[in-house]
Structure 1
Amino acid sequence: MGELMGGHKDKKHKSKKTKRSGRDLNGDACEVTKDRVRAHFLDGNTGPWAKNLAAQDAQTAHSTQNADDADAAEAAAVSAKSSTASVTPTRRGPDYSVPSSIDIVADPVLHALSTRRSISKVDPETPNDSDLLEIIRSISAVADHKALRPWRFLIIRGDDRHRLGAALDEAAGVVRKPGETNTKPLRAELLLALVASPVKHDKVPEWEQHATASGAGHLLELALWQAGWGVMWRSGTLTNSEPVRRLHRLDDHELLMGWFYIGAVPERYRQRLPTSTRPLPKPEQFLDTL
């Protein structure tokens, strides 16, 4: 208080302080606006609506605040932060001010994760069954509540692919001419069918076991990619039709989660991969705080 009521030098000091406070408040205003947008979004409003509502909030706040009260507003904010009263905290979101120590390019696992691609057309060469066994061994560490292992794979090669095509035709009610066949299962020499096979457990619901099976599928794709193989996870509306389920010998409680089409990565794909410009999605959209 003594400084505020001092002489000329104090007035000059006050002027600089006011300017600094103005800049600080502008920065805080930006953060508050982001918080308002996020709050409206979490309340169920989509992006544009959330931004419009946040802008209305800012306009209302601006019309009721006197610009000469900047110092008083700052003091009130500090007081509110230090108050022990129960108030709703302003959501700030994650803190990215500390630089990351993660190097995606240098770490082989993270690099494989970030560069993985689904290869829709693979070459005929495939991993053998012993290779598959080692791949399955590596993915068995998938997150699995109570270690129930509620998943399994079925190898489909050779004529078994024609049997799958016939089952798909039966499910779709398709009758082909003599000599014709469903060519969709022939897009790769090797298919792996993923079956979710949940077990009854009072602490692990079925949906959680399906999530574990799905996790095993994603790890399979990554492991095959890291081992040098191309893979495409395919499914469809007929995946769990009766003829297809019968072919895969599924029990009533089991769920067929699709097929992994596996083969060698064509040379044309390999040549394009190092210069691929497909950007990864911005990770900020997947990370938030309570």
Structure 2
Amino acid sequence: MSKHKDSSENRGSKKVGGSKKSDRSSKKSDKKKHRKDDGACEVTRSRVRAHFLDGETGPWARTLAGQSPDSGEQTASTSEAAASEAESGEGGAQSSTARPANRRGPDYSVPSSIDTVADPVLHAISTRRSISKLDPETPSDSDLRELIRTVSSVADHKGLKPWRFVIIRGDDRNRLGEALDEADDVHRKPGEINEKPLRAELLLALVASPQNNPKVPAWEQHATAAGAGHLLELALWQAGWGVMWRSGNLANAPAVRRLHRLKDDELLMGWLYIGAVPERYRQRLAGSTRPLPDPDQFLDTL
């Protein structure tokens, strides 16, 4: 109520002599403030990127968030930039399907209060990339245990926890290569091995393990298992590790299923290849200009 009242009073005051000059001064002050906020956002972005390139992880992001200017000021300038892009036609293509006259799309008139730079969780999500070539260092099994404890918060109808992970290290990777060859009917010369599982020192197989519950169909439990796998990817990324989620047509071939000791109703959803992020990748990220996709293509209303 008070906001609407204040705005109506301000509109009435514009008719009073001398108020136009005051209004212009206020606008100039707002512009200076926004330029200052934009500069603060840029400093924060630079600081975040510098810490990532230096290989620092974990608590540093919370420290950065604490050093950032007031989040409300930052998000105001960020939302203005987004609005400017939309006005300039950079916001993405409109749907080719005509919308009925009485149907409206999402309402973006309220400024966003989200800061994906200063928030450590959102920053990890927006910067995550799949790393195909990994350095040999890996998290310990104790680290994996702690991270998996964390991702068990994934949305899970009835709390069934319908997933499990299988750790694959060392010679077990060669056993996986042999199972993949058997599944693909590949016969190698003596001494030759399937090197695909050797692309990382640590593989983590994700198994969807549905529980018997009449209210939760198997497809929904598979979705929960996939959610746990992706959360683990994000958790590993935030902890400083690179990940590549690989699967393929042979993942649930009989020989591969036997190796992972799968039950009849279980589904192997692939392997997380885990290792250290190579320095060359960190350097490439510093010069990366690849934008995130336009969210409008994923968002609509009924």
**Is the TM value for this pair above 0.5?**
yes
- Where does 1:120-139 land on structure 2 (aligned, <5 Å)? 120-139=132-151
- Following superposition, the deviation at residue 278 of structure 1 comes to 1.1
Q: Distance in 1 between matches of 2:135 and 2:145?
A: 21
- Where does 1:4-83 land on structure 2 (aligned, <5 Å)? 38=95, 47=96, 50=97, 54=98
Which residue number in structure 1 is paired with residue 192 of structure 2?
180
Give the letter aligned to residue 251 of structure 1.
K
Q: Distance in 2 between matches of 1:274 and 1:208?
A: 39
Which residue number in structure 2 is paired with residue 230 of structure 1?
242
Which residue number in structure 2 is paired with residue 253 of structure 1?
265
Q: Distance in 2 between matches of 1:140 and 1:192?
A: 16
Which residue number in structure 1 is paired with residue 119 of structure 2?
107
Q: Distance in 2 between matches of 1:192 and 1:247?
A: 14
- Following superposition, the deviation at residue 232 of structure 1 comes to 0.0
- Following superposition, the deviation at residue 89 of structure 1 comes to 6.5
Q: Which shows bigger deviation, 267-276 or 197-206?
A: 267-276
**Under a length normalisation based on structure 2, what TM-score does the superposition of the two structures give?**
0.67
Q: Distance in 2 between matches of 1:200 and 1:167?
A: 29
Which residue number in structure 1 is paired with residue 225 of structure 2?
213
Structure possessing the higher radius of gyration over alpha carbons:
1
Which residue number in structure 2 is paired with residue 273 of structure 1?
285
Deviations 1:153-208 (A, max 9, x none): 00000000000000000000000000000000000000000000001111111110
Q: Distance in 2 between matches of 1:230 and 1:172?
A: 28
Runs of 4+ in 1 over 2 A off after TM superposition: none
Q: What is the number of residues matched between the two proteins?
A: 209
- Following superposition, the deviation at residue 270 of structure 1 comes to 1.1
Q: Distance in 2 between matches of 1:96 and 1:193?
A: 41
Residue of 159, 170, 173 corresponding to 1:161 = 173
Structure 1 alignment gaps of length 5 or more: 1-36, 39-46, 58-87
Give the letter aligned to residue 194 of structure 1.
L
Deviations 1:103-133 (A, max 9, x none): 1101110011000000000000000100101
Residue of 89, 112, 129 corresponding to 1:117 = 129
Q: Secondary structure at the match of 1:132?
A: helix
- Following superposition, the deviation at residue 275 of structure 1 comes to 2.7
Give the letter aligned to residue 207 of structure 2.
V
Deviations 1:23-80 (A, max 9, x none): xxxxxxxxxxxxxx75xxxxxxxx4xx4xxx5xx9xxxxxxxxxxxxxxxxxxxxxxx
User: Is 2:110 the counterpart of 1:98?
Assistant: yes
Q: Distance in 2 between matches of 1:202 and 1:124?
A: 44
Give the letter aligned to residue 117 of structure 1.
R
Q: Secondary structure at the match of 2:221?
A: helix
Deviations 1:211-260 (A, max 9, x none): 00000010010000000000000000100000000000000000000000
Q: Secondary structure at the match of 1:193?
A: strand
User: Is 2:298 the counterpart of 1:283?
Assistant: no
Q: Secondary structure at the match of 1:93?
A: coil
Deviations 1:67-107 (A, max 9, x none): xxxxxxxxxxxxxxxxxxxxx87111100011101111011
Q: Distance in 1 between matches of 2:146 and 2:193?
A: 33
Structure 2 alignment gaps of length 5 or more: 1-93
Identical positions, percent:
78
Q: Distance in 1 between matches of 2:291 and 2:282?
A: 18
Give the letter aligned to residue 238 of structure 1.
L
Q: CA RMSD in A?
A: 1.4
Q: Secondary structure at the match of 2:164?
A: strand
